[in-house]
Amino acid sequence: MCVFNRVKKKIGGKVWISCCSSRSTCYLDFLLQCTSKMSSKFSFQWLSSLLQYPSIAPLVRSGEEISDPIPATIKGIIPAWISGSFLRNGPGKFEFGQDRYTHWFDGMALMHRFHISEGSVTYSSRFLRSDSYVQNSEKNRIVVSEFGTVATPDPCKNIFARFFSRFQSPKATDNANVNFVKYKGDYYVSTETNYMRRVDPQSLETKEKVDWSQYIAVNSATAHPHYDPEGATYNMGNSYNKNGFFYNIIRVPPTDENAATEETANLTGAKVICSIRAAEPRKPSYYHSFVMSENYIVFIEQPIKLDLLKFMLYKIQGKSFNKIMSWEPQYGTIFHLVNRHTGKESEVRYRAAPMFTLHQINAFEDSGFLVMDMCCGDDGEVIGEFTLENLRRCSGEEVDKFYNSLCRNLPRRYVLPLTVDEQTPLDQNLVTLHNYKATAKKTNPGEVYMTHEELHNDELLQYGGLEFPQINYDQYNGRSYRYFYSCGFGHVFSDSLLKMDLHTKELKVWRYPGLYPSEPVFVASPKATEEDDGVVLSVIITPRKDKSTFLLILDAKNFTELGRAEVPVNIPSGTHGAFYKMG
């Protein structure tokens, strides 16, 4: 029985079935007693049907556009002090005409807005009018390649034109379906190519396309920038030339208060403050985000590799971008430490065992050490597995088998000693901070090997690990903190919301069968004096009932439900979002 096998491996032979509260009960003995008088065949079938997963295909169906805001039905209480818009982004259209996308990441960007004011909520959504969306719509077929889908040649072209189109350089998509970000006071939607789109955060109207390479020498940028207290934005992007492949740290300055208000995108003043040479020039690492503390940026060079030779050939071979990625644990993990103010890279190379990370939780400095917390897994093959074929499997054993094949991401802590020199002794744990279990040992001149500390206990394993971490970012990013919020993954898509207390490793949980929450976003109350004084927002969807979506508002302190705003729409599962205070 797949469910039993999965959990036995994690929590020592007991099967845990979570209830709707933060507590869970071991029901295996109870279930076995209930079935002891049945035939063994019937008992097995009954238990299997009870524990098998439902189909999640409705979570990855195309959504609809609602350009005119509609009112939500309020249940419970929406605190009157919440004033602004909860914006969400993600794949929302998976076909054009007879063409179908292959991978979940490929869907056209669908933007969502829950506007909250004086205890009421309205909802609206719009497809991003990217060049990719417009061209696909005009042709009624897929004409722009995405992460996992290769566009087929135009059938109207003759055979020679179609053949030679294979040799043309692939054009990067501007389908910015990952996140909402902010530069110089303007709002953008972004993905992981060199293109972003400026958007109006109130009407969700698509504005101009922005090409990073027109401002600085990079070929891409992440969808997860960091913001400093002064208003500057930091990001990372790739570049490659005859001298090799580089990971570049980008800084975009704050808005100039004396400058005239502009009606177009403005990234002037953006510059590369540090270029980090790839350890393997022909096999650079894939990355989704990076670490930033008060004074440092850390780039994590992980062993998910991009094969540049395959990259040059993949269009000719008719293969999608995800086919050039591979998990190669023999390369291990390298942490590159950079001074955020000077742009100088440390001469010390920090190494660790191979691991996979998409999202970091937070980082802060403590008495000569840099503490980094992140969601990590031990198998980087997971990204390529989120094909629509896998996600649209039938319910039961097929979904269970796919879930069990996925890596579980868990919260880990690494601690980098900031003062390592020739006098630093070899093979001695340099982490001297009280209550820290992570280690760091100088193994060779200019090299430190680190092991991590697990930031959880066995209780988290009942919820399948976690991802999409969020903190009280405005007040605690880059600072010592206590709480973070995330999604629990007891299913292929997140099926719970978690609050982790890092001092006690205690979990608070919101979970209901059949409900799938989005990334939780913390919003501080206006007069907050404590780190967790505020609310947590999340969009809840379900495949079990048509047009049954709601915005959930949790009290961040005790993690209990305050209210929900229900809207009669089907929203596909999304990626990231943010809360922006505005009128």
Binding residues for Fe cation: 224, 288, 359, 576
| Closest to 328 (Cα-Cα) out of 383, 404, 379 | 379
Go through the chain and tell me how many residues it has. 583
Quote the distance between the C-alpha of residue 120 and its chain's center. 29
How distant, in Å, are the alpha carbons of 8, 199, 231, 335, 396 from that of 185? Answer: 50, 12, 9, 31, 47
Strand ranges, E, within 41-199: 66-71, 73-76, 84-88, 91-93, 95-96, 99-100, 108-117, 120-127, 179-183, 186-190, 195-199
Structure tokens at 425: 């002794």
Q: Which parts are annotated binding residues?
A: 224, 288, 359, 576
| Closest to 110 (Cα-Cα) out of 130, 121, 125, 131 | 125
**Is residue 335 a contact partner of residue 298, using CB atoms and an 8 Å limit?**
yes
**Is residue 333 a contact partner of residue 352, using CB atoms and an 8 Å limit?**
yes
In 107-221, which ranges are continuous DSSP H helix? 131-139, 159-165
| Closest to 520 (Cα-Cα) out of 563, 479, 556 | 556
Angle subtended by helix axes 40-51 and 28-35, to nearest 10: 140
What DSSP designation does 520 have?
A: -
Residues whose CB is less than 8 angstroms from the CB of residue 153 and which lie 6 or more positions away in sequence, other chains included: 161, 162, 165, 166
Distance CA 192, CA 281 (A): 20
Helix (H, G, I), strand (E, B) or coil at 198: strand
Structure tokens at 397: 């054993």
DSSP run (H or E) holding 475: helix 473-476
What DSSP designation does 80 have?
A: T
